Amino acid sequence: MFESLEIFDLAAARARHAATRQSVIARNIANADTPGYRAQDITPFEDIFDRTAPGRLSSAEFGRTHDAHSPNSPNGNSVSLELEMMRGVETQRDHDRALMVYRTAMSVLRMSLGR
């Protein structure tokens, strides 16, 4: 009965997506002064979720990066520290939201079991 509760799969997938995006953002910030470096991002979770069955969300899907389409500086670098910081805050909120969904689902499950 409780082998596969999709809410837990969904919360875990969203947390993995946020962790992957945070590592991409960190890599962008680390290369902020590298000439010719192009800022990267990953596909938004909602887009991946819309085209994938909830039980089939995998970390491999999250690992695909693409150009963030940021404007270039004179040395060809497209990393904007301000934009990356905003993306980092957005990603932290996504991760916190995933953990809150997980905690709430656990609380509901515990209450339904009388614990």
Measured at the alpha carbon of residue 8, what is the angle toward residues 6 and 12, in degrees to the nearest 5?
Answer: 120
* DSSP annotation of 57: -
Boundaries of domain holding 49: 6-113
pTM over 0.85: no
Rounded distance between C-alpha atoms, residue 105 and residue 6, angstroms: 10
Question: Please, which residues have CB within 8 angstroms of residue 6's CB and are 6 or more apart in sequence?
Answer: 54, 55
Is 90 inside a domain boundary?
yes
Total domains in the fold of the chain: 1
Phi/psi of residue 60, each to 5°? -60, -35
Is 96 inside a domain boundary?
yes
Model pLDDT for residues 13-61, shown as the tens digit of each residue: 899 999 999 999 999 999 999 999 999 999 888 888 777 665 566 666 6
Q: Which residue type sits at 98? A: A
Is 1 inside a domain boundary?
no
